[in-house]
Amino acid sequence: MSSFAKTLVKWHTNHGRKNLPWQHTTNPYFIWLSEIMLQQTQVATVIPYFEKFIKTFPDIASLARAEEAHVMQLWSGLGYYSRARNLYDAANIILTKHEGIFPCNFEEIIQLPGIGRSTAGAICAFSFKQNYPILDGNVKRVFCRFYAIEEWSGKTNVEKKLWQIAQENLPKHDIQIYTQAIMDLGATICIRSKPRCTECPLIKNCQSFQKNLTQIIPAKKPVKKLPFKKTNILILKNAKNIFFIKRRKQAVWRGLWSLPEFISKKELQIWMIKNLDGQYKVVTGGKKLATFSHYKLEMIYHLANIDNPNILNDIENGLWLEQNEIENAALPSPIKKLVKEICL
């Protein structure tokens, strides 16, 4: 075992996190679910979602047999909804191709939707005690600082180097403890801003600390101007209800309920003429800006009152939700926020 791995394993005994709800189990379903939920999301945010999810879907079979809308409803608020869709799709693959048993082979695991090299490595390490490296954001930060890698970790050549480092530092034994330890170190000690270096077990050999580079390593991702998009959104309501349409499979928010959306105001007006037969009253309109990881979206909303909700009965995948159902409905976060600000 390398001195790097040995030091971390020893440190974890007294300082590592040991009470997270997905710990103390080798159930690959629980490990997989936690790893997916933790992508781009803080632990404190994930815990209640994880606990509710496994209570509702205690195993892969129950997840696979659920309605996709129910899965999306439980995920609502976590964001990055493709994660939930991939979970659902992967569960169905496991049920049909693997008889509901999570595969224990790295090559088979990484073929499942939404599972990359690092997630597959974590599942293999925690569930099957197999020696595979991980390289999530926390681990990248630890390696970048320890080896004083000054380039952005997302660059292809840098990431390749980090994978090599991760592989070389794998211990022959205690892979579960080591994997949890390096994740914990990155999450609690070697944090992005104001790292707690004096509490770090690796301080004596950390090149960034020795060179006084801990504040500039890891390098920040190069700033890229986000593209700007516009959409016209129609909010139809009456005294108690608001009208929603389930997103198509090819849409960004697939499987979620959302407001009717149009490329242009003219397209929106044509839809209203065709489906509302003049039985509406435009109340107000405005703009709201939503920022996503890859683009900014200007939502131009149009609010109209409808006295006769039955006029929309023929709209495919349409649904009237009572206003008190909005909070727990499977809605995209920006849409839920818009509705609450404008209507509630």
Per the CB < 8 A criterion, the answer to whether 179 and 125 are in contact is yes
Burial pattern 68-104, b for ≥16 Cβ within 10 A else e, equals beebbbbbbbbbebebbbebbebbbebbeeeebebbe
Pair 219, 153: CB distance under 8 Å: yes
Contacts of 1 (CB under 8 A, 6+ apart): 9, 171, 172, 173, 174
DSSP 41-82: S-HHHHHHHHHHHHHH--SHHHHHTS-HHHHHHHHTTS--TH
Do the bridges between strand 296-305 and strand 241-246 make them parallel or antiparallel, or are there none, so unpaired?
Answer: unpaired
d(CA 189, CA 128): 27
Distance of CA 149 to the CA centre of its chain: 27
In angstroms, rounded to a whole number, what is the distance separating the alpha carbons of residues 82 and 96? 21
The answer, yes or no, to whether the previous bond of 218 is cis (omega within 30 of 0) is yes
Residue 20: partners with Cβ closer than 8 Å, 6 or more residues away: 34, 43, 47
Write down the catalytic residue from 35, 99, 159, 168: 35
Centroid of chain to Cα 276: 37
Q: What is the DSSP string of 14-47?
A: HHS----TTSS---HHHHHHHHHHTTTS-HHHHH
Other beta carbons within 10 angstroms of residue 224's beta carbon come to 7
* 131 phi and psi angles, rounded to 5 deg: -85, 85
68 flagged as catalytic:
no
Which residues carry out catalysis?
A: 35
